[in-house]
């Protein structure tokens, strides 16, 4: 047994013991020390860098670590075996993975406009944004020796008089404070209630003098990113918003790795804590602090996430999801409350869940398909959610078919060496001169902002520009030489987008062949899913009238470039529409509108789920798609080299 001491940049220390030969990464995971490991410890992604402060580890140098960094003690945690006592410095996880994650969280005017347009469309379809949450004010007579009703009957009678509903439910949290609140307010109180045809549920009781706003929280739980908005349940007004990386990332980049991790001893609890305690609760804290809103005035929460995320959120065994015949514990449930899973809002707050429809098509898609409105049109439309899992829904007002493919975190900036979220410093668009190979960058932020990295839309542009200018071949390998093209000692090529001196970074911003390869696989997964789905339905691509693209990739996505790299079918560009983070917008709608909630459930019931892994041509199609734009170039007649 050796002693391993983890030290973070902020100075916190964790001590752990390990056997000879264990990797630093596995020791860290067991001790709940956050090290970013998207590839689950295969030494392929290079994200789990740690610095050896004292002691020795048995570690080989990989291409991810330069000679200088290696000499300075930097190692990959997954490729470092324990051979003695050691002290390891772990980079701050917030900067390591949370900050580089991109998610549309309605923080820019452009995103907000997309959000408003989407909800307007929903309203036009006759969905009313109305719900059964309300604040009722009641004035009761104070008890006397002649009027000896206990407090709870007094309140129930007053509520019945006000609402006409006989059955009033007063939960423990209200019972406990009732005596005090009633007497402090001279029996003049406000009650936060949910009214159904049969009963009235009282969430809270406050003195009438208090201004009560019923808060609601809509949360999109993505495999890579989580975003949340706080809203006023009566007016629909957005009171606050925030987003961050999903704290589960350190346990693997995709759902399969997360499920595997959850099967280790204590794993289910660790993954639940990572999303609840380390991700959602801090977001709530951040939002409520900024909006000066009391956390326990959030009385309802709506969650949209994929099936695995839902299971891990609720602490339910997710293992059957990945094993044939792929049956999850639940598709939908309406019996969950915030206190069940430790969400830091009102303990009785009901959690509304966008229903899952398959092991790999979850609530994020039912919520998103609802927002895309493809169910309300006779024309055939395609809804695409670009996330770690790419999901598709094809159909119209008569039928809907969905399928899912694993695209990896590339669209959200994960697995890309210079990837980041679309915040200040992100390159969101780029053009490259054919002759000089010099780039022209568009950078998010104020005038004079220096580039930091590439967000999803910038990544699509970069690869499309490198390709049409003949700088990379259709396999994504560099075929031209120039000042900005480099090759490392392992022969891997890269293109310098911005030199260190011009960038707000400690190193050059460059895109490598590995980054390009990761992205080509991601786009290949999407397009092969589209092709396979159409082929299974025996429909030609021309049948698609509109394509609705959702996801956290950035609103500035250049659809022409997305077609150029073969991510989307080569149909007229005006048919493409970006609808933002439709999962979050869907959760927002379900929270605010009983109509919307019912409609999403109806969509989930009527959607057919197609399992691509059982279609034997999918893999073949995928290999054909891992090429720019496609091995069959006749599918992309509009794509021309410059």
Q: Is 350 helix (H, G, I), strand (E, B) or coil?
A: strand
Q: Report the nearest approach of other proteins to the CB of residue 254 (Å).
A: 24
Which tokens sit at 346? 């009102």
Residue-wise DSSP of 488-542: -TT--EEEEEE-GGGSSSSS-EEEEHHHHHHHHHHHHHHHHHHHHHHHHTT--GG
- Can you count the helices (H) and strands (E) in the chain? 19, 26
Q: Report the nearest approach of other proteins to the CB of residue 105 (Å).
A: 39
Which tokens sit at 269? 């609890």
Q: Report the nearest approach of other proteins to the CB of residue 249 (Å).
A: 32
**Closer Cβ to other proteins, 156 or 526, answer by number:** 526
**Closer Cβ to other proteins, 228 or 485, answer by number:** 485
d(CA 302, CA 112): 19
Q: Report the nearest approach of other proteins to the CB of residue 392 (Å).
A: 21
- Residue 284 phi/psi, 5-degree rounding, is -60, -45
Residue 231: cis peptide before it, omega within 30 degrees of 0: no
d(CA 476, CA 484): 16
Greatest extent of the chain over all pairs of C-alpha atoms, in Å: 96
Cβ atoms of 363 and 311 closer than 8 Å: no
**Closer Cβ to other proteins, 474 or 580, answer by number:** 474
**Closer Cβ to other proteins, 329 or 473, answer by number:** 473
**Closer Cβ to other proteins, 53 or 479, answer by number:** 479
- Residue 76 phi/psi, 5-degree rounding, is -85, 125
Which tokens sit at 634? 């006749």
Q: Report the nearest approach of other proteins to the CB of residue 485 (Å).
A: 13
**Closer Cβ to other proteins, 370 or 478, answer by number:** 478
Q: Report the nearest approach of other proteins to the CB of residue 481 (Å).
A: 11
CB proximity list for 331: less than 8 A, separation 6 or greater:
307, 355, 356, 357, 604
- Residue 233 phi/psi, 5-degree rounding, is -65, -20
CB proximity list for 253: less than 8 A, separation 6 or greater:
38, 39, 40, 45, 223, 224, 388, 408, 409, 414, 415
Q: Report the nearest approach of other proteins to the CB of residue 476 (Å).
A: 10
d(CA 296, CA 124): 33
d(CA 219, CA 241): 10
Ranges of H-type helices in 292-343: 307-313, 319-322, 338-341
From residue 525, give the alpha-carbon distance in Å to each of 245, 388, 619.
23, 11, 9
Q: Report the nearest approach of other proteins to the CB of residue 290 (Å).
A: 50
d(CA 554, CA 444): 11
Q: How would you classify the pairing of strands 509-512 and 453-454? A: unpaired
Q: Report the nearest approach of other proteins to the CB of residue 624 (Å).
A: 4
**Closer Cβ to other proteins, 540 or 572, answer by number:** 540
Q: Is 216 helix (H, G, I), strand (E, B) or coil?
A: strand
Cβ atoms of 225 and 101 closer than 8 Å: yes
CB proximity list for 630: less than 8 A, separation 6 or greater:
527, 566, 624, 636
d(CA 312, CA 443): 36
**Closer Cβ to other proteins, 325 or 491, answer by number:** 491
**Closer Cβ to other proteins, 453 or 474, answer by number:** 474
C-alpha 96, offset from chain centre: 17
Q: Which stretch of DSSP H or E encloses residue 462?
A: helix 456-468
**Closer Cβ to other proteins, 439 or 476, answer by number:** 476
**Closer Cβ to other proteins, 453 or 493, answer by number:** 493
Q: Report the nearest approach of other proteins to the CB of residue 473 (Å).
A: 5
Q: Report the nearest approach of other proteins to the CB of residue 338 (Å).
A: 50
**Closer Cβ to other proteins, 237 or 620, answer by number:** 620
**Closer Cβ to other proteins, 331 or 495, answer by number:** 495
**Closer Cβ to other proteins, 184 or 479, answer by number:** 479
**Where does this chain bind other proteins (CB under 8 A)?**
473-475, 477, 479, 620, 623-624, 626-627, 631, 633
**Closer Cβ to other proteins, 487 or 507, answer by number:** 487
Q: Report the nearest approach of other proteins to the CB of residue 411 (Å).
A: 23
Cβ atoms of 578 and 551 closer than 8 Å: no
Provide the 10 A C-beta neighbour count for residue 5: 16
Q: Report the nearest approach of other proteins to the CB of residue 616 (Å).
A: 12
CB proximity list for 267: less than 8 A, separation 6 or greater:
251, 261
Q: Report the nearest approach of other proteins to the CB of residue 299 (Å).
A: 54
Q: Report the nearest approach of other proteins to the CB of residue 623 (Å).
A: 4
């Amino acid at each position: 047994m050796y002693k391993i001491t983890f030290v973070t940049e902020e100075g916190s220390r964790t001590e752990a013991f390990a056997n000879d030969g264990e990797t630093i990464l596995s020791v860290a995971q067991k001790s709940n020390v956050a090290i970013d490991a998207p590839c689950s410890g295969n030494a392929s992604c290079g994200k789990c860098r740690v610095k050896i402060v004292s002691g020795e580890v048995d570690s080989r140098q990989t291409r991810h670590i330069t000679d200088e960094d290696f000499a300075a003690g930097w190692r990959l945690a997954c490729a470092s075996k324990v051979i003695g006592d050691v002290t390891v410095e772990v980079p701050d996880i917030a900067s390591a993975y949370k900050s580089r994650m991109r998610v549309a969280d309605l923080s820019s005017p452009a995103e907000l406009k997309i959000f408003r347009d989407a909800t307007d469309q929903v309203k036009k379809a006759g969905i009313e944004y109305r719900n059964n949450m309300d604040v009722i004010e009641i004035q009761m007579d104070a008890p006397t020796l002649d009027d000896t009703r206990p407090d709870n009957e007094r309140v129930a009678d007053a509520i019945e008089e006000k609402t006409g509903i006989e059955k009033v439910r007063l939960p423990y949290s209200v019972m406990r404070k009732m005596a005090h609140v009633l007497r402090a307010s001279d029996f003049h109180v406000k009650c936060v209630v949910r009214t159904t045809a049969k009963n009235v549920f009282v969430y809270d009781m406050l003195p009438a003098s208090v201004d009560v706003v019923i808060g609601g929280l809509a949360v999109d739980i993505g495999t890579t990113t989580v975003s949340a908005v706080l809203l006023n349940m009566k007016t629909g007004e957005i009171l606050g918003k925030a987003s961050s990386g999903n704290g589960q990332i350190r346990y693997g980049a995709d759902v399969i790795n997360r499920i595997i991790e959850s099967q280790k001893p204590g794993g289910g609890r660790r993954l639940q804590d990572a999303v609840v305690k380390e991700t959602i609760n801090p977001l709530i804290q951040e939002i409520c602090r900024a909006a000066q809103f009391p956390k326990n005035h959030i009385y309802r929460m709506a969650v949209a996430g994929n099936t695995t995320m839902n299971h891990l959120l609720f602490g339910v065994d997710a293992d059957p999801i990945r094993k044939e015949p792929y049956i999850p514990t639940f598709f939908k449930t309406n019996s969950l409350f915030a206190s069940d899973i430790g969400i830091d809002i009102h303990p009785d707050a009901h959690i509304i869940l966008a229903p899952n429809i398959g092991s790999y098509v979850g609530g994020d898609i039912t919520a998103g398909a609802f927002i895309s409105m493809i169910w309300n049109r006779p024309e055939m439309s395609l809804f695409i959610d670009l996330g770690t899992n790419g999901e598709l829904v094809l159909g119209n007002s008569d039928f809907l078919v969905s399928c899912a493919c694993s695209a990896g975190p590339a669209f959200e900036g994960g697995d890309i060496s210079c990837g980041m979220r679309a915040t200040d410093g992100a390159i969101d668009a780029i053009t490259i001169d054919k002759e000089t190979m010099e780039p022209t960058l568009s950078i998010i932020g104020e005038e004079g902002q220096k580039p930091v990295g590439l967000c999803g839309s910038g990544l699509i542009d970069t690869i499309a520009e490198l390709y049409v200018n003949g700088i990379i071949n259709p396999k994504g390998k560099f075929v031209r030489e120039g000042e900005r093209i480099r090759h490392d000692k392992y022969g891997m090529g890269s293109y310098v987008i911005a030199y260190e001196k011009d960038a707000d970074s400690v190193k050059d911003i460059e895109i490598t062949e590995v980054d390009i390869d990761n992205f080509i696989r991601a786009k290949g997964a999407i397009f092969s899913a589209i092709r396979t789905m159409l082929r299974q339905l025996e429909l030609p691509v021309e049948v698609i009238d509109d394509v609705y693209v959702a996801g956290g990739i950035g609103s500035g996505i250049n659809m022409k470039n997305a077609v150029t790299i073969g991510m989307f079918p080569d149909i007229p560009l005006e048919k493409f529409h970006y609808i933002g983070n439709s999962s979050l917008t869907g959760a927002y709608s379900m929270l605010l509108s009983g109509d919307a909630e019912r409609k999403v459930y109806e969509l989930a019931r009527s959607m057919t789920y197609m399992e691509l892994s059982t279609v034997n041509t999918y893999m073949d199609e995928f290999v054909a798609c891992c090429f720019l734009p496609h091995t069959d170039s006749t599918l992309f007649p509009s794509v021309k080299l410059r």
